[in-house]
Structure 1
Amino acid sequence: MTKNPYKSPECTISQREYSASWSDYELLDAGNGKKLERWGQIITIRPDIQAVFKPEWPNSHWQQSAHWEFQEHSSTQGSWLNIKANAPEHWSISYDNLSFNLKLTKFKHVGLFPEQHANWRFIKNHTRAGQKILNLFAYTGAASLVARSNGADVVHVDSVKQMISWAKGNMEHSQLTDIKWVLEDALKFAQRELKRGNTYDGIIMDPPAWGLGANGEKWILENHLPRLLETAHELMNQGAFLILNTYSPKIALTDLAVAANSYFSAPQVDIKQLWLPAKTGKELFCGNLLRAIKRV
């Protein structure tokens, strides 16, 4: 493992944090730009640009194992090739006491980012009943459900109506209630919360590297990172936590450190790479991660 040469005087940069498989999810193998994953009883093959190495298992074994393979038609969309007859296009899996509804989408995702298991563990250990948690860019709500299952009051914000509906279905399937749903641009909502004087005990942000905003405007994460951190810091109560995932290849660990040092001081910040190990021993890079605790 290569040591990170950057040493920040203000925060800690750890090299790696590993997520883990659980009973209903496994990264089986990875390589040649793809990953082989088990979701409950369903096995998929999906593209992954970080899988630049050779897989452990031969392609014949992948094809014998998988039910579905995603085939890219462009950088943003594609379709699923059915490998095993009668394989479902919709199914559910569990994590602890939570249930997630999965389905095949034209964007290669199935409704869950399993590498976020590392953050779910953190949320589970840092939330309790009565706390206020803000989940921005909240997608299908896994982090919202983990916080809510601990009794926290959760505000879930996403700019895509279909994602809100999907997350609400996950909440109901998990026999939870009373998550507050907000269909709005995440940063704009956070800034309005600041003007309203609202504060939170935990803020979770999983912004896309790039995309389109609620009104079709272009979103590029590196352009918004300073405002995201500044707004989150102002919304945080003393002792509150912040989780920020970044998938952008243009935002390095050092960039996160420099941005975080403007608002947090040591030892409040921990910055690291997020990795997912495969059953075969391969390791897949899943982006950079910042966590911070706001203290005087």
Structure 2
Amino acid sequence: MQLDTIIAEPHEAYTLIDSGHGRKLERYGPYSFIRPEPQAMWAPATGDWQADGEFLPAADADGGGRWHLADHVPESWPLTRGDVRFHAANTPFRHLAFFPDMAPQWDWMAARTRAGDEVLNLFGYTGVGSLLLAGQGARVTHVDASKKAVAAARDNQALSKMDDRPIRWLVEDALKYTEREVRRARRYDGIMLDPPKFGRGPKGERWELNETLPELLAAIAQLVDDRSKYVVLTAYAVRMSALALGVLMETVLPRGHVQIGEMAVREEARGLLLPTAIFARWTPEKPD
């Protein structure tokens, strides 16, 4: 199985300006920030980083720490991707309320999505991907266990002036909802999922990627068929191989083609590639 690299190039909403010495300097619209980045083991292009804020990690390597922001940085600000507008914000988990390296995945799915397609977005977060696919005319079911994330997704829908699009925003446990869809004999034209390493459902349901992902993919396999167009799985900050994701997908999903690899962001300063995540995606036939 060949490993591919999907690269997010600098775009209007986001640019990786520079990286090195365990940190990265990024631009989110008009504001720039410094965040920890353990994989940036090289030296930065320049040591003179000017930013509007920095996330300083604490002892908890999985997310502890806090933002130090200049007074002029607002609580949130709007960004644009295609026809979709959404809010960026400095969250307590060091993120900026969306994942910019997902842009090539969104574009790949959008190119395969047609009006009337049924799409399921599990662990959908603040809804940028859901809105982009709804912009293609898809009927989207967006599922996330966080009431706050779904509220932010609804706000992004209003900001994008897409209130008329057929999107169902659900605060649900991803596995339980998928299993219910199987019992309802539902099918989908496309499914995307971006599960965390660990998590809790709205009723305290426990999620652990290594243990629960096989069960979730087995349920997803019953929601797709040879007329479906894609299943896209991404995973961040995990001690897991893309090859493992690919083999799992091959053994569980219907016969088709599985592509695997890494996701990366291209640095503006030197064109270096900063790895961010691993992925596996299924299609019923090998894409051109």
Q: Does 1:143 align with 2:129?
A: yes
Q: Secondary structure at the match of 2:40?
A: coil
Which residue of structure 1 aligns with residue 57 of structure 2? 72
TM-score, structure 1 as length reference: 0.89
Equivalent pair of 1:160/1:183 in contact (CA under 8 Å): yes
Deviation, 1:20, is 1.7
Q: Does 1:31 align with 2:16?
A: no
Equivalent pair of 1:264/1:294 in contact (CA under 8 Å): no
- Which amino acid is the alignment partner of residue 163 of structure 1? A
Q: Does 1:196 align with 2:196?
A: no
Which residue of structure 2 aligns with residue 291 of structure 1? 281
Structure 2: any 5+ residue segments left out of the alignment? none
Q: Does 1:242 align with 2:227?
A: no
Match for residue 89 of structure 2 among 94, 97, 103: 103
Q: Report runs of 4+ in structure 1 exceeding 6 Å deviation.
A: none
Q: What percentage of aligned pairs have identical amino acids?
A: 33
Q: Does 1:154 align with 2:140?
A: yes
Match for residue 270 of structure 1 among 259, 263, 266: 259
- Which amino acid is the alignment partner of residue 277 of structure 2? G
Q: Secondary structure at the match of 2:133?
A: helix
Q: Does 1:163 align with 2:153?
A: no
Equivalent pair of 2:172/2:201 in contact (CA under 8 Å): no
What is the aligned residue count? Answer: 279
Q: Does 1:222 align with 2:210?
A: yes
Which residue of structure 1 aligns with residue 44 of structure 2? 55
Which residue of structure 2 aligns with residue 261 of structure 1? 250
Deviation, 1:110, is 1.3
Deviations 1:104-130 (A, max 9, x none): 111111111000011111121011110
Q: Secondary structure at the match of 1:143?
A: helix
- Give me the whole-angstrom Cα distance separating, in 1, the residues matched to 2:208 and 2:133: 28
How large is the RMSD of aligned CA atoms in angstroms?
Answer: 1.7
- Give me the whole-angstrom Cα distance separating, in 1, the residues matched to 2:33 and 2:237: 24
Which residue of structure 2 aligns with residue 4 of structure 1? none
Deviation, 1:265, is 6.7
- Which amino acid is the alignment partner of residue 55 of structure 2? F
Structure 1: any 5+ residue segments left out of the alignment? 1-7
* Larger displacement relative to structure 2 (100-109 or 129-138): 100-109
